Structure 1
């Protein structure tokens, strides 16, 4: 029995990791916050706990409810797409008009910026319909195939989310030497802008 639990958990870990590793808006945001060394714990916690909650709902069978209300995902897609494009435009503005000295202090934070980071992370997580499709529907259905071991599968997937976002957020600190140069921050913001606008456009088109 123990062997089966471990096997199910490992399967969940691998499946969950394969779904979240791809470059996306959320990963780009976590990377930038990690590179700035600002509100990293809060951002990582929001991403990991949100995934864990949605995975629990999926394993519990809530996916059927989401399927029954496709209009809800449409509304979320429109709101999320608009939000991501707006954030991408702000990142592009930083590329074209960088704030003097900001790139030289990646750990610096203006008053209230921690709250903005938390609110942005919450919006970026919960206004993305793909997160519901990946966690509630896909992982939920795959967990259901495991029968009595579905919760072990779900636990493995939740652990994969925690491991990934923790590594991404805190691993980004290794880039601090490179990001001491203003040009590097412009490249990073350019990547963030392109990712956000692309993802936002895709959400609006599919909504």
Structure 2
């Protein structure tokens, strides 16, 4: 397999995993719409993906089998976090006066608070470990040792491009979200999605 083919395999694999509606993507989109700490959020999500994929590709693809207690603890932490965030989003729908429909500015959540939320959405989701550490890791370790860095580079490139496009591309929707009704609809969808994800995590472990 050529070097370009290995690179594209990593890129396409991660594209299939990451381009889907999920709590992390919804959070990045909302930060992009708010134009609040977008670069920090994009950088954190991409670096977290890169670290987890590196762990999987270079020898720890069997993490779930070796440490099942860790995965179970992360599942319950993820359920609790998604429930709390989902209920907060639904509460914002009932209080439209509190919505920030304006686009820019540095007000609102601090950089540290935003980073903490990004970390929670990323690291408290058990699926991110299944996707990056186990699945990407399993396919990455199947590559020849000399080609693994190329596979890793393709996977990381896709992650960075996706999060940057999601965060900064959201600004194109800014005119629509200048209206409070649009924020209400977004928060309603976000809240319902978070609760559905929490339910899915719970059902998956029953």
Name the TM tier (shorter chain).
over 0.9
Task: Name the residue aligned to 1:132.
Answer: 129
Q: 1:46 aligns with which of 35, 44, 47?
A: 44
Asked if the contact 1:37/1:173 (under 8 Å) is kept, the reply is: yes
Task: Name the residue aligned to 2:181.
Answer: 183
Task: Name the residue aligned to 2:97.
Answer: 99
Structure 2 unaligned residues grouped into runs of 5+: none
Q: 1:113 Cα deviation (Å)? A: 3.1
Asked if the contact 1:59/1:151 (under 8 Å) is kept, the reply is: no
1:37-86, Cα deviation, whole Å (9 max, x unpaired): 00100111111000000011011011223321111111001001110110
User: How well do the aligned residues superpose, as a CA RMSD in angstroms?
Assistant: 1.5
Asked if the contact 2:140/2:151 (under 8 Å) is kept, the reply is: yes
Task: Name the residue aligned to 1:158.
Answer: 156
1:8-59, Cα deviation, whole Å (9 max, x unpaired): 0111000011100010000000000001100100111111000000011011
Task: Name the residue aligned to 1:144.
Answer: 141
Q: 1:111 Cα deviation (Å)? A: 5.4
Asked if the contact 1:47/1:125 (under 8 Å) is kept, the reply is: yes
Q: 1:152 Cα deviation (Å)? A: 1.1
2-structure distance, mates of 1:84, 1:66 = 22
Asked if the contact 1:58/1:135 (under 8 Å) is kept, the reply is: yes
Name which of structure 1's ranges 131-140 and 114-123 shifts more when overlaid on structure 2.
114-123
Normalising by structure 1, we get a TM-score of 0.93
2-structure distance, mates of 1:101, 1:168 = 21
Tell me the number of residue pairs that the alignment of Structure 1 and Structure 2 aligns.
204
2-structure distance, mates of 1:106, 1:184 = 13
- Closer, same or farther: CA 13–168 of 1 in aligned 2, 3 Å: same
2-structure distance, mates of 1:159, 1:151 = 12
